């Protein structure tokens, strides 16, 4: 029997988790919320040692120390641009841990012998944790590989993928039933391996731009796996913590999908419906109008209203500090400058805000899409830096495009558009942008940081 005070401490931890999520949903309280969550987790992880007799204390504490070291170093060393894939990785290892815990618990059930009072529902929960944890583990690793560009960011589809995926699901269901009726460790292990395959097949067909939605979904999956693990282990804090994340994560996934103008089902399976969603993917050789930094400097310096559209390319090139200086100089000339932030600018919703905050860009200059879209009509010059998909009018006009339906920044309504780009390579979604070929569009080729520096000097010299 678990001591009452330990159970009460678990309740405190669970309440901390609720307050953490509540805090995280408002900018003013977000940081405090995260800290409350950390306190809750700490409480739970300390009192667990008082739940009952535990062996192997020294190796466990060493393992915790190792994990903490890796986690802290990873979290502190990572570049802010690479944060989404780090979150994916953390989520994956959490799912993997849940699956391993469930396998060990299954092992104990088997040792206890059938009919030793192990209720069937606990076995159902065990099987669920094994499968879902494994799916989350392998799925997250694939999203990591996509975001890190270790593999292609475009949908990976091969003949028979839907069949393999469906077959994998059915096989997993059958094995789960076997685990419940005839508990055996080897069945559990096979179930875990099957989960790994299903998770991989689930994420492979997802296009690069949709990956954040999938990370969020897998995050919710891990939450549910942890919740089921809590039932298996008779542990309330796992049940409540896991369920909160499962529910909040699922809802967040829907919110994100809505911000990108698509359904979750379309995100996961859209690419399977036909080749048309694959896009062009190659650089086009159609004629475009390009100019040098000096020309663009004149364009900017004699405008009255300028809007900057920052994208992931800006952050990758680490040009955000130079950009901020350019905006400061333009501001000194009396030009009205704002940043237009698409909900999914960067790699995830809110990612760009973090990246620009790092460069000390004032909060008031960051305008959200809905607030600024009406202003492009009255804007002289829009400077698009390292962004592409979020200003692609194809999202409104080309039904076969993978980004069709995604709300975009109405950059095409401005007087002049300047694209700062490395090359004619398409964006993360892998489709061509018609706006690049528009007569009002000027292209400024080169590395964003380098070109931005030249542009800054050219504006200063005017």
Per CB under 8 A, which of residues 311..370 are in contact with another protein? Answer: 321, 343, 348-351, 353-354, 357-363, 368
**In angstroms, how far is CA 384 from the centroid of its own chain?**
23
17 lies in the site for another protein, by CB under 8 A: yes
179 lies in the site for another protein, by CB under 8 A: no
305: nearest Cα among 367, 254, 258: 367
Burial of 18 (0-12, 13-18, 19+ CB in 10 A): middle
Q: Which residues pair with 306 in a beta bridge?
A: 337, 381
Among 87, 203, 443, 458, binds another protein (CB under 8 A): 87
The piece of 39-47, 422-430, 434-442, 452-460 that touches another protein (CB under 8 A) is: 39-47
Please, which of residues 369-388 interact with another protein by CB under 8 A?
A: none
Residue 433 half-sphere exposure toward CB, CA atoms < 13 A: 27
Nearer to another protein, 149 or 234 (CB): 234
Evaluate the CA torsion angle 83, 86, 90, 91 in order and state its sign. positive
**Which residue has tokens 């369920």?**
243
Number of amino acids touching another protein (CB under 8 A) = 115
Among 138, 143, 200, 243, binds another protein (CB under 8 A): 243
Nearer to another protein, 305 or 449 (CB): 449
Smallest distance from another protein to CB 453, Å: 14
238 lies in the site for another protein, by CB under 8 A: yes
Nearer to another protein, 279 or 311 (CB): 311
93 lies in the site for another protein, by CB under 8 A: yes
Smallest distance from another protein to CB 174, Å: 24
Angle between helices 83-112 and 351-358 (to 10 degrees): 130
Q: What is the 3-state secondary structure (H, E, C) of 268-337?
A: HHHHHHCHHHHCCCCCCCCCCCECCHHHHHHHHHCCCEEEEEECHHHHHCCCHHHHHHHHHHHHHCCCEE
180 lies in the site for another protein, by CB under 8 A: no
Cα separation, 99 vs 234, in Å, equals 16
Nearer to another protein, 33 or 139 (CB): 33
User: What torsion do the CA atoms of 160, 165, 170, 176 make, to the nearest 10 degrees?
Assistant: 140
Smallest distance from another protein to CB 421, Å: 25
31 lies in the site for another protein, by CB under 8 A: yes
215 lies in the site for another protein, by CB under 8 A: yes
Please, which of residues 396-435 interact with another protein by CB under 8 A?
A: none
Among 8, 54, 282, 283, binds another protein (CB under 8 A): 54
The piece of 77-85, 145-153, 159-167, 174-182 that touches another protein (CB under 8 A) is: 77-85
Q: Give whole-number Cα distances, 386 to 65, 66, 209, 253, 383, in Å.
A: 40, 38, 15, 26, 10
Spot the catalytic one: 210, 389, 410, 412: 389
Nearer to another protein, 278 or 373 (CB): 373
The piece of 84-92, 143-151, 155-163, 331-339 that touches another protein (CB under 8 A) is: 84-92
b (16+ CB within 10 A) / e for 211-245: bbbbbbbbbbbbbbbbbbbbbbbebbbbbbbbbbb
Cα separation, 232 vs 213, in Å, equals 29
45 lies in the site for another protein, by CB under 8 A: yes
Smallest distance from another protein to CB 183, Å: 16
Cα separation, 73 vs 83, in Å, equals 13
| Contact criterion met (CB below 8 Å) for 383 and 411 | no
**Which residue has tokens 């494994």?**
134
Among 9, 48, 130, 406, binds another protein (CB under 8 A): 48
Nearer to another protein, 207 or 346 (CB): 346
Among 75, 112, 181, 462, binds another protein (CB under 8 A): 75
Contacts of 233 (CB under 8 A, 6+ apart): 101, 105
Nearer to another protein, 258 or 440 (CB): 258
450 is catalytic: no
230 lies in the site for another protein, by CB under 8 A: yes
3-state DSSP assignment of residue 362: coil
Among 68, 79, 114, 400, binds another protein (CB under 8 A): 68
100: nearest Cα among 198, 2, 202, 233: 233
Among 3, 5, 8, 35, binds another protein (CB under 8 A): 35
121 lies in the site for another protein, by CB under 8 A: yes
Report the alpha-carbon angle 143-148-153, nearest 5.
65
What is the radius of gyration, based on Cα positions, of the chain? 25
Among 5, 8, 25, 460, binds another protein (CB under 8 A): 25
> Which residues carry out catalysis?
389
């Amino acid at each position: 029997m678990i001591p009452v005070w330990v159970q009460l401490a678990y309740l405190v931890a669970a309440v901390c988790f609720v307050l953490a999520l509540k805090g995280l949903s408002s900018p003013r309280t977000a940081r405090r919320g995260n800290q409350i969550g950390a306190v809750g987790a700490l409480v739970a992880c300390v009192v667990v040692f008082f739940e009952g007799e535990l062996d192997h204390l020294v190796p466990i504490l060493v393992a915790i120390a190792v994990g903490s070291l890796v986690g802290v170093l990873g979290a502190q060393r990572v570049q802010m641009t690479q944060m989404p894939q780090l979150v994916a990785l953390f989520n994956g290892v959490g799912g993997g841990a849940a699956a391993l815990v469930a396998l060990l618990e299954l092992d104990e059930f088997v040792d206890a012998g059938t009919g030793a009072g192990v209720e069937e529902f606990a076995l159902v929960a065990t099987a669920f944790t094994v499968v879902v944890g494994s799916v989350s583990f392998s799925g997250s690793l694939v999203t990591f590989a996509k975001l890190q560009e270790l593999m292609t960011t475009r949908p990976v589809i091969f003949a028979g993928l839907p069949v393999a995926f469906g077959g994998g699901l059915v096989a997993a269901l059958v094995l789960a039933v076997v685990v419940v009726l005839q508990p055996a460790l080897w069945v559990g292990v096979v179930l875990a391996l099957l989960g790994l395959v299903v998770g991989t097949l689930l994420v492979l067909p997802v296009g690069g731009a949709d990956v954040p939605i999938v990370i969020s979904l897998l995050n919710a999956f891990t939450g549910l796996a942890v919740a089921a693990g809590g039932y298996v282990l008779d542990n309330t804090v796992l049940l409540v913590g896991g369920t909160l994340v499962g529910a909040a994560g699922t809802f967040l996934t829907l919110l994100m999908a809505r911000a990108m103008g698509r359904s979750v089902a379309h995100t996961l399976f859209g690419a399977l419906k036909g080749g048309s969603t694959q896009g062009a993917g190659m650089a086009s050789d159609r004629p475009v109008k390009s100019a040098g930094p000096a020309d663009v400097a004149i364009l900017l310096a004699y405008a009255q209203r300028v809007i900057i559209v920052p994208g992931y390319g800006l952050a990758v090139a680490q040009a955000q500090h130079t950009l901020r200086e350019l905006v400061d100089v333009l501001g000194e000339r009396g030009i009205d400058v704002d940043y237009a932030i698409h909900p999914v600018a960067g790699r995830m919703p809110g990612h760009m805000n973090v990246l620009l905050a790092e460069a000390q860009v004032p909060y008031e200059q960051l305008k959200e899409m809905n607030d600024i879209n009406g202003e492009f009509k009255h804007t002289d010059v829009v400077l698009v830096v390292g962004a592409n998909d979020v200003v692609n009018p194809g999202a409104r006009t080309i039904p076969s495009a993978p980004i069709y339906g995604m709300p975009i920044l109405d950059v095409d309504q401005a007087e002049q558009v300047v694209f700062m780009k490395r090359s004619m390579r398409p964006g993360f979604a892998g489709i061509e942008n018609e706006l690049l070929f528009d007569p009002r569009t000027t292209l400024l080729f080169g590395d964003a940081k380098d070109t931005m520096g030249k542009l800054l000097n050219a504006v200063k010299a005017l």
